[in-house]
Structure 1
């Protein structure tokens, strides 16, 4: 009886499980039917859905003009051989075969080919020989990547040298084809007419290859301002991630230095796009072209005729002075910061070459030209007041050579100290800032404070700090740190820390501008591109004058130094009076001479000049630096200054 009840219970449970299984199977059948019948077409369409691959191409960069609308940089059309791989086929052998075919059509430079490129080529081309470098044990125990790395290490210099010239050309082409890019890879720019014709004739056997119209920069006035414009090229490897984050791709052509880099976003424009539509079989069914837009035009503050004349004057003066081998000039509007001209020349192998970048990269001891900052620091720190006098006679401090002016001047005040360029007056200011009692030969207990104080006020004028010029980078000069009292005294006459010609310009401009330090700049306007040759389009952005800081001192102090600067060029004993005698534009400024080593145990001299005009209403400021001149009596700095100011006011 018990056995029958147990069997009955078992059969009941089996029946329930069987029913559940039937229900689940039925649900599955219904679901599969729905997927196949109801949604089958939808999934089939999805599986055959076309894929799209978008490739982009740079449009012409914006032009660069001077302030008067003269075209300085334009675009010259060239033809470029490109390669795209819309099917995403990464067959290395097929690429190598294509590169070999192209090598028979075009000539290709091999200068970019690296040692790693050569090794990869040898492994691909001579695979059997390459893997023979591994033992059976190594092939058994190493993964693919480890094997490859070991082969790379075992390729010898002799094997690398065995790559022929023809193979190197193939390798150079394949190298460009392999660049990781979602754009058309540039294989060669500047194709010859013959190369274009042959490529176009054989396009059917060159999958992914096209000849595209490209452009390269044309510098209308040759070397004039060429260094300032900078270069355009493919994205530098070290900056790849930064550019990628901004939406660039590795094959994009970008500004890589100076103005081209600084104004990349303005000049680059919107890229042309090609969309390839590809079906499931890999066939391209449609190609859509979306036109791009050329870059915006950049109007500079530079005055081209003035720029050309400044360069000419520098060359003439350097050729006349056998003891001078280089010179730098910067001219600007001191109230707006607009750079009107910037030039540098340096003698190399008995020929004068452009070295414009030296105006903001090269730093020198500027000598007495900085004494205006020393006097103003003295006023503001309270160690002197306008009209205070000192006896200009040699100063003797233990452990320091005798310090003196070029002549003993007797009792002089601050204005005479500037007019006649007294060193001793500045030495007394430095000693007082350092709390040094010269009469008792005691003090200077806190050198750090003294140096910090001097540099603080010098920095307010732009000396020893960035001028904030609109370039990717600039030098700030050499900071000599904290040294002896004698070095602080040297600092006060411009013979310790070093500055760039551009910093010197900002310093004198700040004085001319009643203590407002203005950002110097090259960009005047951004304009829409114009379709009319030689003319720029509508203005869309203007550079607004940017006051970086106002010098923290009473305006009467600055006016006192302005008066001293006026005496330098107009006073009875001014160090530049003889040079600027008769100038109708009423200039003011300061000369400078710094003694520097000639490298042979003797001395050369950095000759400098800063100035502005007219004195009552400044509209132009100048900085002239002529380093390492053999004779301090040369006067080349003053001669250059007089000539460039004469030209400016005669032609404004």
Structure 2
């Protein structure tokens, strides 16, 4: 019996073990099955999660396009600079940036301004906070912390840091703050310049040698604009923002919508601004691969960078330099000859252009600073400073008279003083007697223009010392005619800003007479150049422009690439006046320069280049403390040559010259020398 019981127990033990083994087998089977599911079905997904990386793109700025004059002389180029940049990875903490800044400060020095590094009180508090975190956090109670989010907590702590905590920092500590201040402005995976001005070769070499310990720091090259002609034409070239300025705040939305980054350098004035889209170039696009820790593990150039397109301008830099010199010398001569009378004569302005194409060959201005006794460039005034031009616009007045039907070819008036009831007497510079239309231009008769104005105003029967029948709409009628020449309207020049002048506000009869002789509305020097060009160009008003062509950049810096775009002549309008009338005014302009008694005869009569044009003098009253102290004059001159086939036109304005007509004809001297210089340079170019 005992034996049977033993056997029975032996028989039961394997059965139980089998059940146990079976259960274990099932568990292992389920585990293996689950592992299979994980490995086979979800393995790749989980492995990707483990090895997860992120690919992100960043763009590297490229040098801007260059600018050349019409003869392919370099006006604006790029100068390479050493540059220290910082490109932060994702999730870099302020503490890590500070450590990098401390290391970087061992190899570079930051620039000082007035003995300061440009750090703010907040920068100092942030620096103290990072170095005294526990002490800083104790400035808040636990209850206060519970009620605040992280941002408010941080800012409250900074506010509570007392001034004595941030006093006494060493220069080295301030330098670290200055470096970190720049690093804090950097955006993820976007290079930000820490220093690119006056980086020495030693600094560049030291940083390059220690890049392995400077996370995110790179030693590379940046660029700056260089102008071989110095200040000549520099105001028209304009300027660009610095790396620290980035895009212009007032145009932020405009630039961001066009793919710019906030720290991109852009043109902020002049032609740099006007042609920003061409000069900016195509950024180099780099794709960075980062792991879960935010570290960059790979990079690849996906779009090759290309510097901006090159611009060939219409300006002739040799002529530009000569015109600047002429303005300076003649302005100085006028001031020195009549120092008291000319004490308000501070500017001389000139525009030289091709009347057939609108190409601006030279635009210049000189300003005499009476405090420093030095001359300063003032070329932009030719585009935005408007003055009464005087008789220079009488060609437009005569053509208005023809077109309105109040005069015709050969119409004569007797040039004697005009007296309208209740107004001062008005006259020409001398009594010219019976005079016709063409000689009225030649001898610059004011009275002839007064008759045109009176008739356009509705009075064909002038009687001395009687009132006029007057229709104020004559002002707008004359302005409509003048606008066809570019007077009182935009010239269309390719520049960020130009003035259209000023319209006199009081439409009374006496002012209409002044309007007819250029002593009421005001115009810029550029408008006067477009006006005389329209007359020279047989009535076609063309758009003045600085850009001649755009070139595709090529690798060799000294070479110009193929033409990307050429700027064609843009005709804005053809004046609505018969050719016979225009021919008559052209003849009058020729007589001004080439016949005895012409108001510019003494300067141009013997010139071989067959010039034509018109002089102008407008009276200006000078007031001090509300009292009139003297009369000054705007001296103007417009002209073109050759008369039969014009290739150059110009306008000169010398505002507030205090001398009477012909005592010192500054504008005529300038105009004569400008035309002489143009044709001399033309001759030189042919002989080369």
Scaled by the length of structure 2, what TM-score is found? 0.82
1:557 aligned partner? 581
2:666 aligned partner? 636
1:453 aligned partner? 477
2:332 aligned partner? 319
Root-mean-square deviation (CA, aligned residues, Å) is 3.3
Secondary structure in 2 matching 1:395: coil
1:27 aligned partner? none
Q: Using the alignment, how far apart are the partners of 1:143 and 1:483 within structure 2?
A: 67
1:223 aligned partner? 231
Structure 2 CA distance for partners of 1:592 and 1:50, relative to 1, 3 Å: same
Query: Does residue 198 in structure 1 map to residue 233 in structure 2?
Result: no
Greater Cα shift, 99-108 or 342-351: 99-108
How many residue pairs match? The answer is 620
Q: Using the alignment, how far apart are the partners of 2:195 and 2:554 within structure 1?
A: 29
Secondary structure in 2 matching 1:232: coil
Query: Does residue 41 in structure 1 map to residue 47 in structure 2?
Result: no
Secondary structure in 1 matching 2:79: strand
1:539 aligned partner? 563
Structure 2 CA distance for partners of 1:119 and 1:644, relative to 1, 3 Å: same
Q: Using the alignment, how far apart are the partners of 1:428 and 1:75 within structure 2?
A: 59
1:24 aligned partner? none
Matches within 5 A, 1:507-586: 507-532=531-556, 534-586=558-610
Aligned-residue offset at 1:386: 2.5
Query: Does residue 426 in structure 1 map to residue 449 in structure 2?
Result: yes
Q: Using the alignment, how far apart are the partners of 1:341 and 1:187 within structure 2?
A: 40
Secondary structure in 1 matching 2:477: helix
8 A contact 2:118–2:178 mirrored in 1: no
Residue number among 642, 646, 652 corresponding to 2:676 in the alignment: 646
Secondary structure in 2 matching 1:403: coil
8 A contact 2:112–2:118 mirrored in 1: no
Aligned-residue offset at 1:566: 0.9
Aligned-residue offset at 1:521: 0.9
Aligned-residue offset at 1:53: 2.5
8 A contact 1:81–1:210 mirrored in 2: yes
Q: Using the alignment, how far apart are the partners of 2:136 and 2:503 within structure 1?
A: 56
Aligned-residue offset at 1:157: 10
Q: Using the alignment, how far apart are the partners of 1:154 and 1:500 within structure 2?
A: 59
Secondary structure in 1 matching 2:618: strand
2:285 aligned partner? 273
Q: Deviation digits for residues 164-200 of structure 1, max 9, x if unmatched? A: 7666544443343233646311122131112212322
Residue number among 207, 215, 237 corresponding to 2:249 in the alignment: 237
1:251 aligned partner? 263
8 A contact 1:186–1:251 mirrored in 2: no
1:186 aligned partner? 193
Greater Cα shift, 37-46 or 142-151: 142-151
Residue number among 400, 409, 412 corresponding to 1:386 in the alignment: 409
Q: Deviation digits for residues 411-433 of structure 1, max 9, x if unmatched? A: 22221221111222222222322
Matches within 5 A, 1:89-238: 89-109=91-111, 118-127=120-129, 169-179=175-185, 181=187, 183-190=190-197, 191-233=199-241, 234-238=246-250
Matches within 5 A, 1:598-637: 598-600=622-624, 601-632=629-660, 633-637=663-667
Bigger radius of gyration, 1 or 2?
2
Aligned-residue offset at 1:382: 2.1
Query: Does residue 309 in structure 1 map to residue 322 in structure 2?
Result: yes
Structure 2 CA distance for partners of 1:215 and 1:126, relative to 1, 3 Å: closer
Query: Does residue 444 in structure 1 map to residue 470 in structure 2?
Result: yes
Q: Using the alignment, how far apart are the partners of 1:185 and 1:252 within structure 2?
A: 10
8 A contact 1:396–1:402 mirrored in 2: yes
1:407 aligned partner? 430
Structure 2 CA distance for partners of 1:224 and 1:583, relative to 1, 3 Å: same
Scaled by the length of structure 1, what TM-score is found? 0.87
8 A contact 2:87–2:191 mirrored in 1: yes
Aligned-residue offset at 1:272: 1.9
Q: Using the alignment, how far apart are the partners of 2:433 and 2:164 within structure 1?
A: 79
1:9 aligned partner? none
Q: Using the alignment, how far apart are the partners of 1:419 and 1:160 within structure 2?
A: 78
Q: Using the alignment, how far apart are the partners of 2:175 and 2:74 within structure 1?
A: 38
Residue number among 64, 71, 74 corresponding to 2:74 in the alignment: 71
1:10 aligned partner? none
8 A contact 1:110–1:168 mirrored in 2: no
2:272 aligned partner? 260
Q: Deviation digits for residues 228-286 of structure 1, max 9, x if unmatched? A: 21112232121121111111112222222111122222222211233221122333221
Aligned-residue offset at 1:42: 3.9
8 A contact 1:468–1:520 mirrored in 2: yes
1:81 aligned partner? 84
Greater Cα shift, 590-599 or 179-188: 179-188
Structure 2: where are the runs of 5+ without partners? Answer: 1-33, 336-341, 683-688
1:54 aligned partner? 57
Greater Cα shift, 461-470 or 628-637: 628-637
Aligned-residue offset at 1:531: 4.1
Structure 2 CA distance for partners of 1:106 and 1:355, relative to 1, 3 Å: farther
8 A contact 2:110–2:117 mirrored in 1: no
8 A contact 1:113–1:175 mirrored in 2: no
Q: Deviation digits for residues 575-624 of structure 1, max 9, x if unmatched? A: 00011120111111011111223343212221111000111111100111
Greater Cα shift, 131-140 or 220-229: 131-140
Q: Using the alignment, how far apart are the partners of 1:153 and 1:399 within structure 2?
A: 73
Aligned-residue offset at 1:142: 7.0
Q: Deviation digits for residues 541-570 of structure 1, max 9, x if unmatched? A: 111110011112222221111111111101
Aligned-residue offset at 1:222: 1.6
Query: Does residue 372 in structure 1 map to residue 395 in structure 2?
Result: yes
8 A contact 2:654–2:666 mirrored in 1: yes
Greater Cα shift, 539-548 or 142-151: 142-151
8 A contact 2:91–2:294 mirrored in 1: no
Q: Using the alignment, how far apart are the partners of 2:168 and 2:601 within structure 1?
A: 72
Q: Using the alignment, how far apart are the partners of 2:410 and 2:163 within structure 1?
A: 77
2:614 aligned partner? 590
Query: Does residue 335 in structure 1 map to residue 356 in structure 2?
Result: yes
Secondary structure in 2 matching 1:265: helix
Structure 1: where are the runs of 5+ without partners? Answer: 1-31
